[in-house]
Amino acid sequence: MSDLPRKAVTRTAKLAALPIGFAGRATWGLGKRIGGRSAEIVAREVQQRTAEQLFKVLGELKGGAMKLGQALSVFESALPEDVAGPYRAALTKLQEAAPPMPARTVHGVLAERLGEHWQELFLVFEDQPAAAASIGQVHRAVWHDGRDVAVKVQYPGAGEALLSDLTQLGRFARLFGPLVPGMDIKPLITELRDRVSEELDYALEAQAQQEHAAEFADDPDVVIPGVVHQCEQVLVTEWIGGTPLSEVIADGTPERRDRAGQLLARFLFSGPARTGLLHADPHPGNFRLLPPDGSTGEVGESVDGEASRWRLGVLDFGTVDRLPDGLPGTIGDALRMTLDGDAEAVYDMLREEGFVKDSIELDPDAVLDYLLPIIEPAQAEEFTFTRSWLRTQAARIADPRSPAHQLGKQLNLPPAYLLIHRVTLSTIGVLCQLGATVRLRDELESWLPGFVLDDASGPTEGVVHEEGAVHEEGAVHEEGAVVEA
């Protein structure tokens, strides 16, 4: 395949083959069980075959199909190792690459959006894409002023394909259930569909990215490439190299895994406090581990100096949650009170915020017992995120026989917290893929409103970023200030 399949009948046929394939494997599994093989072994074989077909189709189609695949890929840590292992490579491939759009199509988009003489804007433009994602692909180039840049070009027809895919996938979302234990896929698909227009709007993406770039311009830990030029279907930003997080996951040293994990947690919690925006697409393809100046950053390279010199590069601001006051203080308050063991206060807050509906009565102590294992990483000075820990949590919540499963079904997730919840879960999934040891509590104390009580005036507040943007050469430049509360 060399182009984005845009005809509805073509995409629908490929997606429609998924539930048919699922049904066929279920029949195959039944036959195996009748033949004497254990139900558990057969179930895992069916799960593995299902995943292989699912990610193959989602990766080929790009669009909404690939977007769902990327969202699911960060949860592979929740699967049993003998199931996850065989297709982990396919998930990593989804995070970093997809079949490229032909050069003639790319040139056509650039000529339409940048003008007939678009080549004059670049000293060098590489036709072979450096990366491909769900709605566009990235080409490396040199801007006319000599800067190395990344040129993101949107697939023609991407919007139509995105909506069509997610509508189709939503019809059989329940079939994905066995792939990610304890996770309801339908709300995820609904939320992805609701954000289609935002994802396709490169002007919004440019503004969100430049606000982050301005705020983190002198940050020693996080690097955000600045925006160079933006127009419909084309976004040009500064190029950053480094090692993709997927490669750190596969081959990185323990020191680099830990450093990447610490910075990922720091960016998750500090971003909303500093910019009023939450980066809402935290899969490994959107992050780079950047080496100290003067080194290449290759995974196997020996670099002198402490691990603390490495930085986190962050890409793709197409999906953000706008949180002008930072993360809700309710989250910090609830975490703090849960760690303090104050069951009644936690329960009252959850009910007040809509996590427990008025028509439902729950035992506050049971709610506390449900929450404590989930927030275990916030209890210790440092916590090692592992696939086995995540599998234990997923199994506890997914097992219909467990009290945690029964209680979880009675809790409600208010719409305002939906994206925050998904981003947090996704980030935890990546931390478990890294196997990183992280001082999470440090980041919560520094950036999460309400997590630490100020003796004088109650919960401490995070920093607030004042916004104001001006446009220059098609870019969005942030003129803002940080106000310490």
pTM of the model: 0.77
Pairing relationship of beta strands 222-223 and 311-314 according to DSSP bridges = parallel
User: Is the pLDDT score of 384 beyond 50?
Assistant: yes
Mean pLDDT of 267-275: 97
State the Cα angle at 278 between 319 and 55, rounded to 5°: 45
pLDDT of residue 4: 46
Mean pLDDT of 25-37: 41
Strand partners, 453: 459
The kind and range of the H/E element at 300 are: none
Mean pLDDT of 427-446: 96
Higher-confidence residue: 70 or 97?
70
Mean pLDDT of 442-455: 89
pLDDT of residue 309: 87
Percent of the chain residues past pLDDT 90, beyond the cut: 47
Specify the residue for token string 């395949």. 1
User: Is the pLDDT score of 398 beyond 50?
Assistant: yes
DSSP secondary structure string, 21-41? HHHHHHHHHHHHHHTT--HHH
C-beta separation of 75 from 111 below 8 A: no
Q: Kindly list the distances between the CA atom of residue 329 and the CA atoms of 84, 215, 226, 326, in Å, as whole numbers in the listed order.
A: 36, 22, 30, 8
pLDDT of residue 422: 86
Mean pLDDT of 39-50: 55
Sorted by sequence, the CB contacts under 8 Å of residue 55 that are 6+ apart come out as 69, 73, 87, 90, 91, 94
C-beta separation of 12 from 110 below 8 A: no
In 3D space, the residue among 478, 479, 471 whose CA is nearest the CA of residue 203 turns out to be 471
Q: What span, in angstroms and rounded, lies between the C-alpha atoms of 430 and 312? A: 14
Q: What span, in angstroms and rounded, lies between the C-alpha atoms of 327 and 230? A: 29
Q: What span, in angstroms and rounded, lies between the C-alpha atoms of 175 and 187? A: 14
User: Is the pLDDT score of 62 beyond 80?
Assistant: no
pLDDT of residue 262: 97
pLDDT of residue 317: 95
Sorted by sequence, the CB contacts under 8 Å of residue 188 that are 6+ apart come out as 68, 71, 422
Most confident of 83-97, 323-337, 462-476: 323-337
DSSP secondary structure string, 87-154? HHHHHHHHHH--PPPPHHHHHHHHHHHH-TTGGGGEEEE-SS-SEE-SSEEEEEEEETTS-EEEEEEE
User: Is the pLDDT score of 278 beyond 50?
Assistant: yes
User: Is the pLDDT score of 341 beyond 80?
Assistant: yes
Categorise residue 320: left if φ over 0, alpha if ψ from -120 to 50, beta otherwise. Answer: beta
pLDDT of residue 232: 93
pLDDT of residue 77: 62
305-337 pLDDT, tens digit per residue, is: 567 789 999 999 998 999 999 999 999 999 999
Mean pLDDT of 67-93: 59
State the Cα angle at 395 between 282 and 178, rounded to 5°: 70
In whole numbers, what is the pLDDT of the chain averaged over residues?
78
Chain mean position to CA 117: 37
Q: What span, in angstroms and rounded, lies between the C-alpha atoms of 329 and 266? A: 17
Most confident of 34-43, 133-142, 311-320: 311-320
Q: What span, in angstroms and rounded, lies between the C-alpha atoms of 75 and 183? A: 9
User: Is the pLDDT score of 479 beyond 50?
Assistant: no
In 3D space, the residue among 193, 183, 190, 196 whose CA is nearest the CA of residue 72 turns out to be 183
DSSP secondary structure string, 43-93? HHHHHHHHHHHHHHHHHHH-HHHHHHHHHHHTTGGGS-HHHHHHHHHHHHH
101-133 pLDDT, tens digit per residue, is: 889 999 999 999 999 999 999 999 999 999 876
Provide the residue type at 448 as one letter: L
In 3D space, the residue among 87, 29, 27, 28 whose CA is nearest the CA of residue 58 turns out to be 87
Instruction: Report domain extents, the chain.
Output: 243-485
C-beta separation of 74 from 286 below 8 A: no
pLDDT of residue 162: 74
Q: What span, in angstroms and rounded, lies between the C-alpha atoms of 31 and 110? A: 54
Provide the residue type at 371 as one letter: L
DSSP 332: H
Least confident of 6-20, 112-126, 376-390: 6-20
Q: What span, in angstroms and rounded, lies between the C-alpha atoms of 133 and 227? A: 19
Least confident of 266-280, 356-370, 412-426, 458-472: 458-472
Q: Kindly list the distances between the CA atom of residue 282 and the CA atoms of 185, 246, 260, 267, in Å, as whole numbers in the listed order.
A: 17, 12, 13, 10
Least confident of 50-64, 176-190, 446-460: 50-64
Percent of the chain residues past pLDDT 70, beyond the cut: 67
Strand ranges for 186-310 from DSSP E:
222-223, 227-231, 234-238, 243-244, 277-279, 287-290
